[in-house]
A and B are shown apart, each in its own frame.
Chain A
């Protein structure tokens, strides 16, 4: 997003206005800001509970707030509820767990083991994630190979058993962590079998057995991580008691190992994605920093505000081709003495730091040499010598430098010197009997500055009468290629010809709008400086 700087000073009020405008149509986005902030304020009321829930999830899963939000979204989606409701559920459950923990008394070895297991569960970041085909297929295979009506891939959380995948079990995503089935599997190594739940005093009390589902048979293999933590189970359930063969249990163990592999694979992909996301965020921050540096440096290279010149209106626009790079275009307006002024606009080849060095050298050389000798030709000769003398400078620049002397009858006498720069454009209301309202003003023969030791420069003079405007521009404007065609001097002259009565501020505003509409945007920097004498 390129940012440009506009400056307008008005001779009538002497006020200086600095606006920041985005090249893509600034005023609209400025208007939309309050509306957006109002919406944000409304959302803030719901945000508190959501933030608290994210805090809980971040703590529980040792993840980033962004991932915490992701988990919350997934939980909301799975429960078919809004984000706020899902957040309230998470917060309530966390408070409940806290109360239980308070009641539980001092920690034991079992607690330490469970803490390690829970951090392993968190590491894989699998809880409350949306369905995943790989795990679904494992549940289907378990059911088919063990000829059971129900199979699940479940993860045992601190307070519940959550199903990553289910087969033959509709509409159930999690159950309580009641003993007897899954919750018991993760207490021991190897497969776990309940041939008839009604004959097992612990399993018989499990809601899956006692409840309307009426489970009688259960066989499971633990999902065991490489570091030995049992995260959950791959299990099959049946409504009738039955026996299970060793090879069927071996199949369950293989499927559980497959789940572990899949979790590892998923974790390494997650880690990669997170690293990439982090790098991307870093890159965005770096870009912002570079943009800030470029912006700061540019402010030292451009006048902060245009000066107030009695009887003259001034406006300028400056737009770097790349907001991360300092522009090679520059302009300046300053007082020479009590009633004479100097203005300049130039273009150093290239952008970035190398161009900035030359931009600074050019601007300050002109400023100092003009005080020594106000003849613009002498100024350009001095600048030419300075650029050639500096061993660090290999670039040339083009420039227009002018002096302004107020005329007692109104208006200004301008002496303009050029060093290889595109002509300035002089807008004046048509004289009777002529059609020409925009003239190119150009000191013929003024050479590119900093290229040749014997370069010669010349001047031309004009009178800026009331109602006249002089526009200086860099070639970034005429060499822009909207729609693939060079914009060119002729189209610029036509555009200006329709605006000969505009004030400098209006003219620069129209040109800024014109450039903002260019597609593609100019690939070179653009600087514009307009000087106008208000009509009588």
Chain B
């Protein structure tokens, strides 16, 4: 199951960690968790930590695109932390790897 949590709020960055399965049933809830951060004042960076996702479906990929689109509209940069094989494979198959900026881990994402 999906479990979203804000692990840490650095000065101007927010990390949302998504765990479990991101599919057509859980994606809307995940977006609801992410959206409030996008209107937070002074936020410059949204980090989506996907390293503990066990599954991502096309609805999950749409969510990443939507979240990034909304973040960019608010001048917020988006970085994805992957490391989960299923996410890497899904991004590769769907040709979306080139659409996102990736970070190897949280430390480098927040650097």
A251 contacts partner chain B, Cβ-Cβ < 8 Å: no
- A448 and B95 contact, CB distance less than 8 A: yes
B50-81 interface mask toward A, CB cutoff 8 Å, 1 = contact, 0 = none? 00000101110110010000000000000000
Given contacts A350-B24, A398-B94, contact A420 B58 (CB under 8 A): yes
What would be 25 A-B contacts, judged by CB atoms less than 8 Å apart? Answer: A349-B59, A349-B62, A395-B62, A396-B61, A396-B62, A397-B58, A420-B58, A420-B93, A420-B94, A421-B93, A444-B95, A445-B95, A445-B98, A447-B94, A448-B58, A448-B61, A448-B62, A448-B94, A448-B95, A451-B62, A451-B65, A452-B65, A456-B95, A479-B55, A479-B57
How many angstroms from the CA of A350 to the CA of B63 in the assembled complex?
14
Question: Which of A145-170 touch B at CB < 8 Å?
Answer: none
Question: Which of A433-491 touch B at CB < 8 Å?
Answer: 442, 444-448, 451-452, 455-457, 475, 479, 486
How many angstroms from the CA of A448 to the CA of B57 in the assembled complex?
11
A347 contacts partner chain B, Cβ-Cβ < 8 Å: yes
- B65 and A422 contact, CB distance less than 8 A: no
- A420 and B95 contact, CB distance less than 8 A: yes
A68 contacts partner chain B, Cβ-Cβ < 8 Å: no
Task: List the 5 shortest-distance A-B pairs measured between CB atoms, nearest first.
Answer: A447-B95, A420-B94, A448-B94, A445-B95, A349-B58
Instruction: Work out how many contacts link A and B, with CB atoms closer than 8 A.
Output: 54
How many angstroms from the CA of A380 to the CA of B59 in the assembled complex?
19
Chain B residues lying within 8 Å of A323, measured Cβ to Cβ, are none
Chain B residues lying within 8 Å of A457, measured Cβ to Cβ, are 95
- B93 and A423 contact, CB distance less than 8 A: yes
A457 to B, closest residue via Cβ: B95
Chain B residues lying within 8 Å of A456, measured Cβ to Cβ, are 95
18 other A-B residue contacts (CB within 8 Å) besides A398-B94, A451-B65: A347-B58, A349-B57, A349-B59, A349-B62, A350-B24, A396-B58, A398-B58, A420-B93, A420-B96, A422-B93, A442-B93, A447-B94, A448-B62, A448-B95, A448-B96, A451-B61, A475-B57, A479-B55
How many angstroms from the CA of A395 to the CA of B58 in the assembled complex?
9
How many angstroms from the CA of A455 to the CA of B62 in the assembled complex?
13
Question: In the complex, how many angstroms separate the beta carbon of A493 from the nearest chain B beta carbon?
Answer: 14
Chain B residues lying within 8 Å of A395, measured Cβ to Cβ, are 62
Q: How many residues of A contact B (CB 8 A)?
A: 26
Question: In the complex, how many angstroms separate the beta carbon of B21 from the nearest chain A beta carbon?
Answer: 10
Question: In the complex, how many angstroms separate the beta carbon of A144 from the nearest chain B beta carbon?
Answer: 62
Question: In the complex, how many angstroms separate the beta carbon of A350 from the nearest chain B beta carbon?
Answer: 5
Question: In the complex, how many angstroms separate the beta carbon of B66 from the nearest chain A beta carbon?
Answer: 9
Highest count of chain A CB atoms <10 Å: which of B55, B59, B94, B99: B94
Chain A residues lying within 8 Å of B65, measured Cβ to Cβ, are 448, 451-452
Question: In the complex, how many angstroms separate the beta carbon of B38 from the nearest chain A beta carbon?
Answer: 19
Highest count of chain A CB atoms <10 Å: which of B24, B58, B96: B58
B97 to A, closest residue via Cβ: A445
Given contacts A420-B58, A448-B61, contact A349 B24 (CB under 8 A): yes
How many angstroms from the CA of A396 to the CA of B93 in the assembled complex?
14
How many angstroms from the CA of A349 to the CA of B57 in the assembled complex?
8
Question: Which of A263-281 touch B at CB < 8 Å?
Answer: none
B24 to A, closest residue via Cβ: A350
How many angstroms from the CA of A442 to the CA of B93 in the assembled complex?
8
A445 to B, closest residue via Cβ: B95
How many angstroms from the CA of A399 to the CA of B98 in the assembled complex?
19
